[in-house]
Chain A
């Protein structure tokens, strides 16, 4: 059974930093291009970025709005993807989801982890 478990979400002050984790099981994580998607309270889905498999270069791509603030990385030995966030602002308050490849079959999502940015 495929499982994606996000963790690390918490209350953080404006300007602060946070690292989210996405632990995967039930599939060959090392071969998967993984994505982060977020959803602000009462708002729609927003793609943050993705990271390719190491065999495809292991490089990340990002949405423009997070460039230079967020970094996606992966540790295939731990079947885990990370989202390092810095310079957090109130508009970054959201549930953060990790997903398996969005355009390949099958596609799975985690339950998400809530990040709240507030003083």
Chain B
């Protein structure tokens, strides 16, 4: 199975400051169709997960443009340009190039400093 490793595991950020979460895969997650199946999800406290980013860098509808995704091969990053209070929660990466199974990262907890 592909192992997804996120860092840091916890992140405390001052409101208005940027934040960055890294996700590294144990092998390349470029699929045979040429796409890189790497998603990012947000889970606010007490809520279901919500997808923010798909195939590395595409923002889902309704996701603020302060969220961006980048990366290639085995190294990926979720960036929040200016953290807001509503961004508090857990963030997960997910790979879908090598299945089964799809594999999630362990999660990163974002808090406000």
Cβ–Cβ < 8 Å partners of B99 in chain A = 61
Chain B interface size, as a band, is 20 to 34
CA distance A110 to B61 in the complex (A): 18
Task: Verify if A44 is at the interface (C-beta below 8 Å from B).
Answer: yes
Query: What sequence of 0s and 1s flags, for each residue 106-118 of chain A, a beta carbon within 8 Å of any chain B beta carbon?
Result: 1101111000000
Count how many chain A residues have C-beta atoms less than 8 Å from C-beta atoms of the other chain: 22
Q: Known contacts A45-B92, A102-B39; decide if A64 and B101 are in contact (CB<8 Å).
A: yes
* Interface members, chain B 8-63 (any A CB < 8 Å): 37, 39, 41, 43, 48-51, 54-55, 58, 60-61
CA distance A110 to B50 in the complex (A): 10
Q: Which of B41, B96, B100 sits near A103, CB closer than 8 Å? A: B96
Tell me the minimal C-beta distance from A97 to chain B in angstroms: 6
Task: Verify if B106 is at the interface (C-beta below 8 Å from A).
Answer: yes
CA distance A106 to B55 in the complex (A): 12
Q: Which of B54, B55, B60, B101 sits near A47, CB closer than 8 Å? A: B101
Tell me the minimal C-beta distance from B97 to chain A in angstroms: 9
Task: Verify if A93 is at the interface (C-beta below 8 Å from B).
Answer: no
A107 and B60 contact, CB distance less than 8 A: yes
Q: Which of B37, B48, B100 sits near A97, CB closer than 8 Å? A: B48
Contacts A47-B94, A47-B104, A109-B49 supplied; 15 other A-B pairs, CB < 8 Å: A35-B102, A44-B90, A44-B104, A44-B105, A45-B49, A45-B104, A46-B104, A47-B101, A47-B103, A50-B102, A61-B100, A61-B101, A105-B58, A106-B60, A106-B61
